[in-house]
A = this chain, B = another copy of it.
Amino acid sequence: MEVLITGGAGLLGARLARQLLERGTLADAQGKQTPISRITLLDVVPAQGFTDERIKIVTGDIADPKTIESVISPATQSIFHFAAIVSGHAEADFDLGMRINFDATRLILERARHNGNRPRVVFTSSVAVFGGDLPAKVPDTQVLTPQSSYGAQKVMGELLVTDYSRKGFIDGRALRMPTVCVRPGAPNKAASSFASGIIREPLNGVEAVCPVAPETPMWLLSPRYAINSLIHGHDIDGSAFGYSRALSLPGLATTVQEMVAALERVAGSNVVKRIRWERDDAIIKIVNSWPGNFDTKRGDAMGFKRDADFDSIVRAYVEDELKGQIAA
């Protein structure tokens, strides 16, 4: 079977590709584990570090129908659609957000529909679909009143994925990702960037700034569990989703304080001293608008797993990215 990953050069896309190469199979349309013959990684920049001959690297504009036609054929049985304009960027450039987060999603679903092979489509949504008046613990039945263009565009994508699935055009799943932490690599412009930075930088011997209060609640998933959730979300039977193909993934509810305490337990007090606490009101405002905790009964019942605690998230980062070596 052939697989497409959009955003294939990003953290989730590239990591998913590596895991699929190792694993070798995915559920086909009938739910049978089937060997993967091809993984196409589409992004605006070429995905790096792949030598496996099953990998095909494509660069292009995801909102251009020609690009989509070139990467989705009737042989494409699985589509992981991760490419997106992030929250802050979509808020600053409304048209670009609509084009990439909504129009490109629709193009992909239309192309899949017209191929007639009803591929499985995993669309990454976001907890940014929630906004406005929220309870401390957001239930699966929370009404969606997003307060950002990114959030609105993600809800619209969820609705398309659900309706295209209900009509039998595709077999879709829209998974709302917790903040993925610890992200390897450099900080980015996302307001959540600090969540990885305050762990990653100190472990690499670099100072990090924490712009929010210690008691700030966080809703997290490690890269390992994020990838496992995406594969599980792909492989389970679509009927498990019921009336909506959108699902809030189980995550780990913690606080910045607990994260730092876990870092100290795993790496020692010298490492933790590399965190400088320096409040940034702009970031605090955005982060405080996010729900910090969710009741994910539905996802739990569907077999999605979350990290046990933040200590194991720190340890997984040290194993996966630092080969076990912490900067003393």
Instruction: List chain A positions with a Cβ less than 8 A from chain B.
Output: 94, 131-133, 141-147, 149, 152, 155-156, 159-160, 162-163, 166-167, 242-244
Given B132, B159, B244, which contacts A132 in the complex, CB threshold below 8 Å? B244
Q: Give the shortest distance, in Å, between A244 (CB) and chain B (any CB).
A: 4
Q: List 15 A-B contacts (CB under 8 A).
A: A131-B243, A132-B244, A142-B143, A143-B143, A143-B144, A145-B243, A145-B244, A146-B159, A147-B166, A147-B243, A149-B163, A149-B167, A152-B163, A155-B155, A156-B160
Residues of B within 8 A of A133 (CB): 243
Residues of B within 8 A of A242 (CB): 132
Once the chains are docked, how many angstroms separate the CA of A269 from the CA of B131?
A: 53
Do the beta carbons of B155 and A159 come within 8 Å of each other?
yes
Q: Give the shortest distance, in Å, between A267 (CB) and chain B (any CB).
A: 41
Indicate whether A144 sits within 8 Å of B147 (C-beta atoms), given known contacts A131-B243, A156-B156: no
Once the chains are docked, how many angstroms separate the CA of A182 from the CA of B244?
A: 34
Closest to A246 in B: B145
Once the chains are docked, how many angstroms separate the CA of A141 from the CA of B162?
A: 20
Residues of B within 8 A of A244 (CB): 132, 145
Given B132, B149, B155, B167, which contacts A243 in the complex, CB threshold below 8 Å? B132
Given B145, B149, B152, B162, which contacts A152 in the complex, CB threshold below 8 Å? B162
The 8 closest A-B pairs by CB, nearest first: A132-B243, A152-B163, A145-B243, A145-B244, A152-B159, A141-B143, A143-B143, A156-B156
Q: Give the shortest distance, in Å, between A266 (CB) and chain B (any CB).
A: 39
Closest to A244 in B: B145
Residues of B within 8 A of A160 (CB): 152, 156
Once the chains are docked, how many angstroms separate the CA of A152 from the CA of B161?
A: 10
Once the chains are docked, how many angstroms separate the CA of A68 from the CA of B196?
A: 47
Once the chains are docked, how many angstroms separate the CA of A133 from the CA of B244?
A: 10
Do the beta carbons of A167 and B131 come within 8 Å of each other?
no
Once the chains are docked, how many angstroms separate the CA of A155 from the CA of B133?
A: 19
Once the chains are docked, how many angstroms separate the CA of A167 from the CA of B141?
A: 27
Do the beta carbons of A144 and B144 come within 8 Å of each other?
yes
Residues of B within 8 A of A141 (CB): 143
Once the chains are docked, how many angstroms separate the CA of A131 from the CA of B159?
A: 13
Once the chains are docked, how many angstroms separate the CA of A131 from the CA of B146?
A: 20
Known pairs A132-B243, A155-B159, A156-B156; list 5 more (Cβ under 8 Å).
A132-B244, A142-B143, A152-B162, A152-B163, A155-B155
Closest to A167 in B: B94
Q: Give the shortest distance, in Å, between A293 (CB) and chain B (any CB).
A: 18
Once the chains are docked, how many angstroms separate the CA of A45 from the CA of B133?
A: 43
Residues of B within 8 A of A149 (CB): 163, 167
Given B132, B159, B243, which contacts A156 in the complex, CB threshold below 8 Å? B159
Residues of B within 8 A of A145 (CB): 162, 243-244
Once the chains are docked, how many angstroms separate the CA of A244 from the CA of B142?
A: 14
Residues of B within 8 A of A131 (CB): 243
Once the chains are docked, how many angstroms separate the CA of A183 from the CA of B7?
A: 51
